[in-house]
Amino acid sequence: MTVVETDILVIGSGVSGLYYAIKSHKLGRLMIINKLEKYESATYYAQGGIASVFSSEDSFEEHISDTLVAGDGLCNRDAVEVVVRDAPNRIKELIGLGVKFSKAPDPVDNDVVYDLTREGGHTKRRILHADDLTGREIEVSLMRAAENMGVRVSDHRMAIDLITINKVLGIKGGQDRVIGAYVLNTLTGDVETVLAKLVILATGGAGKVYLYTSNPDTETGDGIAMAYRAGASIANMEFIQFHPTCLYHPEAKSFLISESVRGEGGILKRKDGTPFMAAYHPMKELAPRDIVARAIDSELKKSGDEYVLLDVTHLDPDFTRKRFPHIYNTLLKYGIDMTGQPIPVVPAAHYTCGGVVADLDGRTDIRGLFAIGETACTGLHGANRLASNSLIEGLVFANRVAQTTEPYLGDKLPYETIPPWTPGNAVDSDEMVVVSHNWDEIRRLMWNYVGIVRSDKRLVRARRRIEMIREEINEYYWHFKVNKDVLELRNIATVAELAIRCAQIRRESRGIHYNIDYPHKDDAAWLKDTVIKKQ
Ligand code: SIN
């Protein structure tokens, strides 16, 4: 078995992992791993943009206020302040690293300035973007910058589990210390023991827990599940954000229609062409996302239709083609010309607001273990994330972690106590059907029972099923040789159970958690996070 010793192990190579690596590669030996190919991460597919106060007509106070309003009472104000106030510095640094954001002539003096768009919940134009491929521009630029600095991402490596001192020495209680991770090389099937003084979880979110999601295949909640198994606190997993507008098309997998399409004037309509958002919120199409997603859900339930329409046919076709080239061209491939016909859309799971509890410097409650980006729950998003606040969260906290981690590199760690990985027996290929069946079952049950609208009864059913499935997976996991599908299945099952348990704990409706048995917000009892820790 291969043993690799490094100083810092970064798990995940989206915006948070790459930016952390760029900021700290000089601290010591740094290894960054990605379970698929180069660039594959949620960052790469982010369309809309990155929020920051960049106009003289905007202010930190307004960005803070919009974030707090979206978060519906549960944001940690300190986290919000830290992100909003540091955002312009991070963006300037991105520009310095080669990121090219879209520009446009200033309407007042015709100077060329960064083009700022709007999305739901924002009272000002404050979203920088690179056409409608913002994430791709950031990911590719950061990867290039990291490579130029000598940072290499090891692809096809999936972390299986964290290794901690308490676990290897059989200690119960007291503060634990991470000392590495077991990592599967998904090409060879070998498991490597990676010894590290610092482990940075930057694995993204968990949208794949749901049948319909805007997320790419990478998002199986790996960091959250591993941190939970290792004993770290996990919070607010009931707050899974549904994006209101994913393309409805039998051949399209996870194709998002960016909120900026509504920001530029797109109108939501019933299939018969009647606009409906005015009946739900005064901000209509630009109401916070939870309200728009629930409005669409309610329209679909009332009509029995499979989708609603997003209409931009009233906009200048040249503007639409220029502003949304990726969306326009992708839709054309599916036979839809968005300049001349409305787009069929449905809501889909999009963003995990909860995650591994992390303080303002990314520390979790296991020493040496840090969480950043969508994997972390820093308190920025509260009960609902404001659109385009996530890429910036990743940057701000990656930078803060980079300022914090050096002292941990001096710790002396008992690497000699780490047991080698014990492989299971060979996989009987007939059994892989169990894996694909369980994948499908979890994602369907989460969609049907733990979706946009929840009830106590559905949550109880979901809990019962997921507990049975987890038992089956455990049996499977310990008897067979691990592979990526089995590891991801084990992780989505864990994250699904965490989401159900958090949803059961919160006996109110707030932000993106809506339970018909408690349809109102209860500030007296529930102005707090739902925190779960493995006993
Ligand atoms: C979008 O483009 O609609 C996604 C933006 C976000 O989720 O922040």
The DSSP-derived string for 321-379 is: HHH-HHHHHHHHHTT--TTTSPEEEEEEEEEE--EEE--TT-B-SSBTEEE-GGGEE-S
Percent of the chain with pLDDT over 70: 99
Q: Say if residue 253's pLDDT is above 90.
A: no
Q: 269-280 burial by CB neighbour count: b if 16+ within 10 A, else e? A: beeeeeebbeeb
Q: How confident is the model at residue 87 (pLDDT cuts 50, 70, 90)?
A: very high
Q: What does the CA dihedral 388, 394, 399, 400 come to, rounded to 10 degrees?
A: 100
Does the structure show a pLDDT above 60 at 103?
yes
Round to whole Å and give the CA distance between 291 and 277.
9
CA distances from 220 to 36, 77, 212, 374 (A): 12, 29, 13, 12
- Spacing, Cα 373 to ligand 1 middle (Å): 15
Q: What is the pLDDT of residue 433?
A: 84
CB 258 less than 6 A from any atom of ligand 1: yes
Q: Tell me, what's the pLDDT at 289? A: 86
Given CATH 3.90.700.10, say whether it is the number of domain 244-348: yes
In short, whether 132's Cβ falls inside 6 Å of ligand 1 is no
29 catalytically annotated = no
Q: Is ligand 1 within 6 A of the CB of residue 48? A: yes
Q: In terms of DSSP bridges, do strands 531-532 and 234-235 run parallel, antiparallel, or are they unpaired?
A: antiparallel
Helices and strands: H and E segment counts in the chain: 16, 22
Average pLDDT estimate for 308-316? 98
pLDDT at site 427: 60
With a 6 Å cutoff on the Cβ, whether 388 touches ligand 1 is yes
**Rounded average pLDDT over 359-370:** 98
Buried b (16+ CB within 10 A) or exposed e, 219-247: bbbbbbbbbbbbbbbbbbbbbbbbbbbbb
- Tell me which of 114-123, 228-237, 429-438 is least confident: 429-438
Unique residue bearing structure tokens 């990867």: 143
Laid out side by side, the sheet with 153-154 consists of: 153-154, 30-33, 8-11, 198-201, 369-371
What distance in angstroms lies between residue 114's CA and the mean position of ligand 1's atoms? 18
CA of 526 to the centre of ligand 1 (A): 28
Pocket test for ligand 1, best of 350, 374, 389 (most atoms within 8 A of CB): 350
| Ligand 1 centroid – CA 351 distance (Å) | 9
pLDDT for residue 114: 94
pLDDT digits (tens, 9 = 90+) for 263-292: 999 999 999 999 999 999 999 999 988 899
* pLDDT(424) > 90: no
Q: What is d(CA 136, CA 128) in angstroms, rounded to the nearest whole number?
A: 14
Q: What integer pLDDT is reported at residue 429 of this predicted model?
A: 56
Does ligand 1 come within 6 angstroms of the Cβ of 47? Answer: yes
Distances (CA, A) of 50 to 125, 131, 266, 391, 469: 11, 12, 20, 6, 38
Please tell me the pTM assigned to this model: 0.95
* Atom of ligand 1 minimally distant from the CA of 259: 3
pLDDT of residue 360: 98
Q: Give CA–CA dist 14/143, Å, rounded.
A: 9
Candidate list 118, 289, 443, 490, residue with the active-site label: 289
Q: Which residue has the higher pLDDT, 104 or 83?
A: 83
Topology of domain 432-532, CATH: Methane Monooxygenase Hydroxylase; Chain G, domain 1 (1.20.58)
d(CA 186, CA 156): 5
Compute the distance between CA of residue 473 and CA of residue 490 in angstroms, rounded to an integer. 6
- Distance from C-alpha of 511 to C-alpha of 71, rounded to nearest angstrom: 7
Contact 121, 288 (CB under 8 A): yes
CA 391 – ligand 1 centroid, Å: 10
Degrees, nearest 5: CA angle 155-192-139: 20
Q: Which atom of ligand 1 is nearest to the CA of 47?
A: 2
Q: Which of 30-34, 198-202, 475-479 has the lowest mean pLDDT?
A: 475-479
Tell whether the model's pLDDT for residue 428 goes beyond 60.
no
List the beta bridge partners of residue 343. 310
Task: Please state the rounded mean pLDDT for residues 358-385.
Answer: 98
Average per-residue pLDDT in the chain? 95
Q: CA dist 233 to 78, 377, 533, Å?
A: 20, 10, 5
Question: What is the model's pLDDT at position 301?
Answer: 87
For residue 423, pLDDT over 80 is answered with: no
The answer, yes or no, to whether any atom of ligand 1 lies below 6 A from the CB of 192, is no
Candidates 380, 376, 386; CA nearest to 355 is 376
Q: Picking from 185-199, 320-334, 410-424, 485-499, which range would have the lowest pLDDT averaged per residue?
A: 410-424
Atom of ligand 1 nearest to the CA of 350: 7
The domains of the chain are located at 244-348, 432-532
Atom 2 of ligand 1 has which residue's CA nearest to it?
Answer: 48
